[in-house]
Structures are given as structure tokens and as C-alpha cells.
Structure 1
Amino acid sequence: GTEPRVLITGLNLTVPKGRHVIVTGPNGCGKTSLFRVLAGLWLPVEGAVAVPAGKRMLWLPQSSYLVTGTLRDQVTYPQHYRKASREVDARVHACLEKVRLTKLCDASATEDPFGLSSYHHDWNDVLSGGEKQRVGFARLLYHSPAYAVLDEATAAINPDEESKLYEMVLENDTTVFSIAHRLELRKFHKAELHFVGDGSGSFEIRELR
């Protein structure tokens, strides 16, 4: 079999509530691999990873997972409402408004005042890369988890929009762990985990503010 690859060596990192961490480093250094380990998709060969359970944690990959279903379903995922209350729909609509996606609402739906019942088998065919990422942020604002891990979750969004999205998430009292290329995002974080990328698993941790 393939030899296990050293991703990072000797890291001991705790992320308490409010300590927003950005992960940086050159392409191919293992940033997305770290995301997969944190998400439990890959198991570490050595060491341990502990993350908050259940609804306290939300994962936002570079391309948000979209389901067959209504516009409402995209925001409330993994929850699904056969018949959503007016309160739920008002919240979903408010989140779409914040990320500037209300144009996706179906204004002609008379029994659905918020226009959230527009249905597609494959939303991936309907939305652009930036829109998919904004749906991910609407989902993040809707669920308001204690922690969120973002892997290049704003790569297809322009820097001004990106800043507004991050500001809203932080105002929502969600602690973020961001894997990012754009170093401008440092301003939203309190610490930086920098992968050196020399193949040895070495890293640096810098306090940002």
C-alpha cells in the first residue's frame, strides 16, 4: 500500500470559542487534507482530533453540497421540512437576503409568500460557483453553529463580498477555522496555522491580534 504521508508533526492546537484560526500554506501542502481529517473523512495514523458533536459544528467545503429539492432545502440542509412553518421560511428568506440570493426565490408562488418552493433536481446545474458558495453561507447563518470549518469557502466570491460574509458569520457568534489562500482573510482571525510545505510536516502558529 501507499506509505502514510506526514501531514503535520507535533501539533497541539486547541480552538476555544472566539479564537478564529486561519490555515495557510503553499498549494499541495495538506490544507485540504487537514479539513478531511477534521471532518472525519480521513483517520489520522497518529494523534487524535476532537471536534464538537452534532449541530455545534458545520463544514463548508469549496463547493457546497446541494440536494435535489427546493430552495428552502438548500439552506436548511441537513434538515428537511415537508411543510415549513412561516417562521422557518422567514428565517430562510432573511439568510438568503443577507447573502444576496433572493433572486432565486419564485415570486409567482401564491401559496408560498417567500418563494422558497422553487424546485430543481440538480441545483449544481442552476447555480454559478459563487452562488453555490453563497448558499453555503446562507446555510451557515441559518444553522448558527458554535464552530464552522471553511475550506476555501469563498474562493469564487470577490473580496468585498467575502468580507461582508465573514463579518456576518462572526457577528452570528460562530467561531471559524478557515483554510484559505487569500491572506486578506487574516483580519477576521486571531491566530494563523501556517504549513511550511517542505514535506516534513513542520508548521508555525502566529497570533494575529
Structure 2
Amino acid sequence: MIELVGISKSFTGKKGSIHALKNVSISVKKGEIYGVIGYSGAGKSTLIRCVNLLEKPDSGSVIVNNVDLTKLSPGKLRVARGKIGMIFQGFNLLKTATVYENIALPLKLTGLSKQEVEEKVTRYLKIVGLENKHHSYPSELSGGQKQRVAIARALAHEPEILLSDEATSALDPDTTEAILELLLKINRELGITILLITHEMNVIQKICDRVAVMENGEVIEEGKTKDIFTSPKHATTKRFVNSLFSHNLPDEILSTLKETGHVVSLSFFGKASGEPALALVSKKFDVYPNILSGSITQLKDESFGQLLIHLKGDFTEIQKAVSFLKQQQVLVEGVDIDEGKNQRVS
């Protein structure tokens, strides 16, 4: 559906050239929700604007539906952009126009009849849950309602792809949750492929099938959301995951615990998150598990839990217990089972 191949983009400023993107390549499959996450200055905003050529890359290919947009004439590019909707953090609504007019005006410019415009506006306002706000003005709406209008405006052109440029960053947590649920609904019911950028890991966790992590204009890690959560490789990726699961312990407490056993992190996915694996450990082995911290969260399609525990006992018994946990499809980290060396969990 979307193939970005070797995308590079630089900007010239007072201090010289700024390399916003450096040979970036990602592939987004039809019908999936793909997230790009990174801190400020990572290059993610520039990347998403290259998809519809709001920013033209210095080099590389932007392939959408097997067509390289960088090679299209201006006329054909306008047609191709018609299948790519976009929503922004700032909503970009006309303040002096009603909700109806904000959605209808772009449609009228495409040459649709009054009846066709009315049918589309009515349909998509209903989809976003604002069927009673036709005559309201943006100043009369909440932030979440404004974003719903922006989403309806993008959907009214019936795109195959929806680009989301930090669409929830200006919203409170409850409203963010509602907008994410709406994006999930749009993806599932309308089959629209969604590419979004964010700096919030909870957005990735909630709705994304796959994710790319960016830093300094490069993709430093990419994969299924599940895999990124269970085994992040890069330090920046670990920081994002730990923003949801913080299990840091003070050094003095960790040192004390290590004197009588091992501190390990357990990760549970899907059915494993609901199994009493830890309870069985204390019954099967001469090991006493003590839960130090833990949480369970919901990814797009399955639950994911993490526990930080202290396993008190002889190392041989701990070794058996850890092997048992792994057999129960529990990911165990923080202790070297082969050599008996402790490793700090962070």
C-alpha cells in the first residue's frame, strides 16, 4: 500500500543544512494501522508529509498503490492525493464556517452536486458521532469534537489511506482514548489503511499493528507492536516502553534483594497473562516469589502484562522455576540462568 524507499530530506537554516530524514525506508500493508514514534526532532513529521508530497524528498521513492508519486505530473499527483486523507494536531477548521460547511466546502470544490455533498456530510458526521452538530461552529465544540469534524472532513473524500499527524497530542487522556477508538472503528469498518505519527507510546499500544521508532532522522527499530513491547532492542525504544512499564528499583533495595535471590522481569502475552503461572512456581519448586511491581495493559488485539518479582531461594531451584515459567510462554529477563549472574532490570 505505502512504500517509502530510501527517503532523505534536508532543510537549509541559518546554521546550515538540517538532515531531517536520512535514507528512511518503511512499508505499510493494506488495511493495517502503522505507527511511527519518536521524540521531538526525530523526523517523523517530515516523514509523514513526504507520503502525500506536502514535503518533496530530496531523494528516494514514495510508492502508493504501486505508483511512485515523485514521478507524477502535478495533475496526476492531485488525483493521487485525493485517495490520501490527512488529519492534524491543530484540526485546521475554518472558524467562520459551521461543522457542515467545514466538510462540505472541500467537496464542492471537487464538483459534486449539492445532493451528493449533503449525503457525504451526513454519512460521515454520523460515523464520527456528530450527527447533531451540523450547524455548530468550531468555537462551540470541544477539542475532541473538533478533531472528529476534521476526521469526517478527511473521510468524506473516501480515501484509501488516512495520515494522522499527532492527531491526539492536543487532547486530554479521556478524549485521546475516544479518538483512538474512532480510528480503530474507521480502520475495521471502512478498511482504511492508517499511518500515524506520535510521541506517545499509549497511542502505539492501543491501536497499532506495527511500529517504527525514529531518532535523528533514521528508523532505529521496526517491527510488530507485540515484538517491540516484549523485546525492545534500542535504548530509545526501551525508554518508550518503560514510559508505560516503569520497574526501576533503588540501588540499595536491589542490592539487598540480590543477597537472598534474584530479581527478574516477567512478561505475559495473550492467554498467558491470565494463567496462574507464578502461583504454580511456589508449589512446584522451593522458591518464594515476591511481587515488587506489575501492570497489565491492552494492546490492539491482546493483553500484555509485566511483573517485577524477587525469587528467593537456592539458585538451582530458581533455575528450575525460570525454566518452568518459560515453558508457560512467559518471557523472563533480568537473570543469567546459565551462569547465575544477576543483571539489573530497568
The root-mean-square deviation of aligned C-alpha atoms, in Å, is 2.8
How far 1:22 sits from its partner (Å)? 0.2
- Give yes or no for contact 2:88–2:164 (8 Å, CA) kept in 1: yes
Q: How many pairs align? A: 191
- Pick closer, same or farther for the CA change 1:132–1:143 going to 2, 3 Å: same
Normalising to structure 2: TM-score of the pair? 0.48
Alignment partner of 2:102 out of 74, 81, 84: 74
Unmatched runs of 5 consecutive residues or more in structure 2? 1-11, 66-79, 227-346
Alignment partner of 1:59 out of 46, 64, 86: 86
Which one has the bigger strand percentage?
Answer: 2
How far 1:30 sits from its partner (Å)? 1.8
Letter of the structure 2 residue corresponding to residue 93 of structure 1: T
Letter of the structure 1 residue corresponding to residue 128 of structure 2: V
Normalising to structure 1: TM-score of the pair? 0.75
- Give yes or no for contact 1:23–1:31 (8 Å, CA) kept in 2: yes
SS at match of 1:6: strand
How far 1:134 sits from its partner (Å)? 1.0
Alignment partner of 1:142 out of 156, 177, 182: 156
- Give yes or no for contact 1:76–1:143 (8 Å, CA) kept in 2: no
Which one has the bigger helix percentage?
Answer: 2
- Give yes or no for contact 1:64–1:136 (8 Å, CA) kept in 2: yes
How far 1:125 sits from its partner (Å)? 4.3
d(CA) in 2 for partners of 1:169 and 1:84?
25
SS at match of 2:24: coil
How is 1:44-193 mapped onto 2 (pairs within 5 angstroms)?
Answer: 44-51=57-64, 53-67=80-94, 69-80=97-108, 84-85=114-115, 88-106=117-135, 125-155=139-169, 156=171, 158-170=175-187, 171-186=189-204, 187-193=206-212
Match of 1:18 in 2: 31
Bigger drift between 141-150 and 35-44 goes to 35-44
SS at match of 1:153: coil
- Give yes or no for contact 1:60–1:151 (8 Å, CA) kept in 2: yes
For CA contacts below 8 A with separation 6 or more, give which structure has more relative contact order.
Answer: 1
Letter of the structure 1 residue corresponding to residue 193 of structure 2: T
- Give yes or no for contact 2:44–2:197 (8 Å, CA) kept in 1: yes
Identity of aligned pairs, percent? 27
How far 1:88 sits from its partner (Å)? 4.3
Letter of the structure 2 residue corresponding to residue 79 of structure 1: L
> Could you give the per-residue CA deviations for residues 78-135 of structure 1, whole angstroms, max 9, x where no partner exists?
21179621x64344223223323234234xxxxxxxxxxx7xxxx5545443322111
d(CA) in 2 for partners of 1:77 and 1:177?
25
